[in-house]
Structure 1
Amino acid sequence: MCGCQSHSEKTTPQAEPQGAGTLSFRVEDMTCGHCAGTITKAIEASLPGTRVQADPASKLVSVQGSSDRAAIAAIVTAAGYTPQPVTA
């Protein structure tokens, strides 16, 4: 969980990536932009070629470019957060 102490209720929602091949997770303990950045950097560094949208307002993380749900969940968990798969 984030310890940055800069949590803000004011966030700008980001558009979710669209299309097949997008995996989504709900991350309830992603509470601010710093959390979103940490998750984004962790996934993109571990899985080059992925594109991540992390929105702390909606608690959603969407990943394009990988179909390995277990690997993404493990990366988010290793970054200190608790991902829950969102199924369509």
Structure 2
Amino acid sequence: MNQLVLSVPAISCGHCVKAITESVGEVPGVGSVAVDLTAKTVVVTGPAGRDAVCAAIAEAGYEVAA
């Protein structure tokens, strides 16, 4: 199964975690979403594409680091 690890430096609280988890969880092909508040990362498993996941994170109001 594919795993995508993205850095999202603006993650700072539980609200951030919830918003990103819910938004990314709606992307077709996402099997699971784990947002790490301490590491400021989003780990996605499943066949979802990077662009779709990044778009969902942006929709939630956050930017993925390059």
User: Taking structure 2 as the reference length, what is the TM-score of the superposition?
Assistant: 0.86
Q: Does 1:78 align with 2:53?
A: no
Between Structure 1 and Structure 2, the one with more helix by share is 2
* Structure 2: tracts of 5 or more residues without a match: none
Partner of 2:40: 59
Q: Distance in 1 between matches of 2:25 and 2:62?
A: 16
Q: Which has the larger radius of gyration?
A: 1
**Identical columns (%):** 30
Q: Equivalent residue of 1:52, what SS?
A: strand
Q: Extract structure 1 runs of 4+ deviating beyond 6 A.
A: none
For structure 1, the residue ranges without an aligned partner over 5 or more in a row are 1-19
The count of residues paired between Structure 1 and Structure 2 equals 66
Higher relative contact order (CA 8 A, sep 6+): 2
Q: Report the TM-score when normalising by structure 1.
A: 0.67
Q: Which residue of structure 2 lines up, in the alignment, with residue 36 of structure 1?
A: 17
Query: RMSD of the alignment, in Å?
Result: 1.6
